Amino acid sequence: MIKENKLAKKISSGDFIVTAEFLPEASIESIDDNIINSFDKNITAVNVSDNPFGPVMSSTAGSVALANKGIEAIYQIVTRDRNRIAIMSDLMGSASLGIKNVLCLSGYHQTLAACPESSNVYDIDSIQLINMVNKMNETGQLDNGTQIKGQFAMLVGAVANPFLKPLDLNIIRIAKKIAAGAKFIQTQAVFHVNEFKEWIEALNADGLTEQTAILAGILPLESADEALHLCNKYTEFSIPDTIIDRMKSAGDVTLQKKEGIKICNEIITDIKTIKGIRGIHILSGGKERIVQDIIKGLKL
């Protein structure tokens, strides 16, 4: 366990874990108290997004800003924008600034990140990145064998899409991430609960849920139009027509937003009973003020 790490302690204790997400903007000043107050004591840690939809404040700077406000950050790093030299440099810099958690992912293709003219890098994939951080943790060495001067310690996490088919290959990929050193896994947004349950049961059967903490992704929809946009733009989003129709039937935008929160709470109630689930991850990037509405429904 990493000393003074809330997330690591929660994983070890077996307690129900709640993480959320923060999308940094252009400056520290943009992080107002209303956002900070959304992440109360019931939130174990908060992801700081790494340029998911285009350039924003760096995940390192955003993570330090949250830490300075007393919030434990999960530093995100994508392989899309950096080669392994830059990645190792950013990891060492972030750890030296006191960041204790890192989420390793590939990142959206640049055509989905408002900078289609950018070059992607993908020098390594997300599994290789997890391996790299784990090696830095366990041996104190960089990927090239160079010894790190000083201490390096970061709790490593990964992401997963429970709805990728075929299921067998999906489970193999999760197993590789766990074997590489992922101590927690946050999933894409869950709307198809029965399909999600099938995925978890496959992980249970292979003993994988005993080796890592699975946090189910929960996305608060604000409108039926948003749901349709997500399904059309991002391949990992699969939202049932029944939910989209329910959002449309709710009424105006204000009522649709309330219906979206109600749907979230119903999904959480269903998945909390599934064996192998260790918590939820509220996909709140850019919607930080809505987190408290979901927390109230949890009755923690």
pLDDT in tens, 101-131: 999 999 877 766 667 787 888 999 999 999 9
Distance between CA atoms of residues 142 and 249, nearest Å = 55
* pLDDT tens-digit readout, 27-36: 666 676 767 7
The three-class DSSP label of residue 120 is: coil
Of 293, 230, 212, nearest in space to 257 by CA: 293
- Residue type at position 27: S
Report pTM.
0.94
Position 278 scores a pLDDT of 97
Distance between CA atoms of residues 213 and 238, nearest Å = 23
Distance between CA atoms of residues 218 and 249, nearest Å = 21
Distance between CA atoms of residues 191 and 195, nearest Å = 9
| Residue numbers of the chain with a pLDDT score lower than 70 | 1-4, 26-30, 32, 34, 111-114, 299-300
Position 30 scores a pLDDT of 65
Position 26 scores a pLDDT of 62
Residues of the chain by 3-state class (helix, strand, coil), percent to 5: 45, 15, 40
Position 114 scores a pLDDT of 66
Structure tokens at 125: 């994939």
* pLDDT tens-digit readout, 253-288: 999 999 999 999 999 999 999 999 999 999 987 888
Across-strand partners of 215?
186, 279
| β-pairing verdict for 45-48 and 73-78 | parallel
Of 284, 298, 300, nearest in space to 23 by CA: 284
Residue 89 CA: distances (Å) to CA of 94, 95, 150: 9, 10, 14
Q: Which of the four CATH numbers 3.40.1160.10, 3.30.2310.20, 3.20.20.220, 3.40.50.1860 does domain 6-223+265-298 have?
A: 3.20.20.220
Distance between CA atoms of residues 117 and 247, nearest Å = 35
| Residue entry with tokens 């349709």 | 228
